[in-house]
Structure 1
Amino acid sequence: MAATLHTPSRIYLLRHAEAAWAQSGERDFDRALSEKGYGDAEMLADRAADKGYRPDIILSSTAKRCRQTADAVHRAMGLSLELRYIDELYNAAPNVYLELLDTQESNAVMLVGHNPTIEQTLEALIGHEQLLRALPGGFPAGGLAVLDFDAAAAAWKLREFLSG
């Protein structure tokens, strides 16, 4: 059964874009986007903005690759958009992502995070079968799931999935 949060009415789940391989001695937390990841993040952010997708707030993991992905969205969608970095999103379980989404007062929230948690969060919201139909190969790096709450069905529906 899919989880049914009631606030917000739109959720954007964004997995950070492709990260570079860790350098010798570098912590996973400090891995930056690869050159391809930078380009993909910029293109995805521009496509989403062109489609009129704009959250009220962006909540991002503090890991470097997530911050860089969130920054690309922030630039494309407007610097007046609130952007918050949250330590707990790094290495978190899906329930942490879901609780964070559920406590937001905004109508549209974007969460920038990591796999497998971002995919597990999507699955909790839309259900296993819908996840498999939408993303048979899994949630790709730099992928953006746009979900709307269908009040009549009391369920989250995947509106669109964008990827680089």
Structure 2
Amino acid sequence: MLVLDPPPFRIFLLRHASAAWPQPGGRDFDRPLDDHGFAEAELVATRAADRHPAPDLILSSTALRCRQTADAVHRAFGEDLEISAIDSLYNAPLDIYLEVLVGQKQVQSVMIIGHNPTLEELLEALLGPDRMAALIPGGYPTAGLAVLEHGGPHQAMAGSWTVKDFITA
């Protein structure tokens, strides 16, 4: 059972924007955003900054497409925003994402920029399967941003989170 104790007040879950197809001989890790992805990232980041206070911390996969998405968020929210690149978020299973999230005890809000299918699994772990399926019945879109809040001062378990917003391009 997922337990965050104490929980952050707000969690932003952002899937990286649309990436270019892999180049022959190139690594998946090095795939950049394509033109559509750059536009998606800027649009979602701007909408998020217009609607929500900046997160205390951004945790991003070190994959190029995630770092480029994080750059758009950084521009939209402001230069003071701290970004931490985490190698283990690339191709990570759900337990790694949960471990990273649980380790954020000193912040009130955190944004994770990562990959599917793990972001979708994390959203399901926080909301429960029925609420997650109702929110994104077609799966987690590229540049999709879920904004979740927890109102209690104590343990936050699966199903105790509220979706405040879901932003797409």
Q: TM-score, normalised by structure 2?
A: 0.92
Instruction: Tell me by how many angstroms 1:52 deviates.
Output: 2.6
Which residue number corresponds to residue 129 of structure 1? 130
Moved over 4 A (4+): none
1:89/1:96 contact within 8 Å kept: yes
Residue 20, structure 1, aligned to residue 17, structure 2: no
C-alpha distance in 2, partners of 1:120/1:13? Answer: 11
Which residue number corresponds to residue 37 of structure 2? 37
The percentage of counterpart residues that share the same residue type is 54
- Residues 145 and 159 of structure 1: CA distance in aligned 2, closer, same or farther (over 3 Å): same
C-alpha distance in 2, partners of 1:53/1:136? Answer: 27
| Structure 1 segment 40-119 matched on structure 2, within 5 A | 40-104=40-104, 105-119=106-120
Instruction: Tell me by how many angstroms 1:26 deviates.
Output: 0.7
Root-mean-square deviation (Å): 1.5
1:10/1:108 contact within 8 Å kept: yes
Question: Which of the residues 137, 158, 167 maps onto 1:162?
Answer: 167
Q: TM-score, normalised by structure 1?
A: 0.95
C-alpha distance in 1, partners of 2:53/2:17? Answer: 18
C-alpha distance in 1, partners of 2:9/2:116? Answer: 23
Q: Which amino acid aligns with 1:138?
A: G
Instruction: Tell me by how many angstroms 1:157 deviates.
Output: 1.5
SS of residue matched to 2:66: helix
C-alpha distance in 2, partners of 1:120/1:76? Answer: 27
1:7/1:103 contact within 8 Å kept: no
C-alpha distance in 2, partners of 1:156/1:95? Answer: 18
Which stretch shows the higher mean deviation, 93-102 or 57-66?
A: 93-102
1:7/1:106 contact within 8 Å kept: no
Deviations 1:57-90 (A, max 9, x none): 0000000000000110011101111001000000
C-alpha distance in 2, partners of 1:99/1:158? Answer: 21
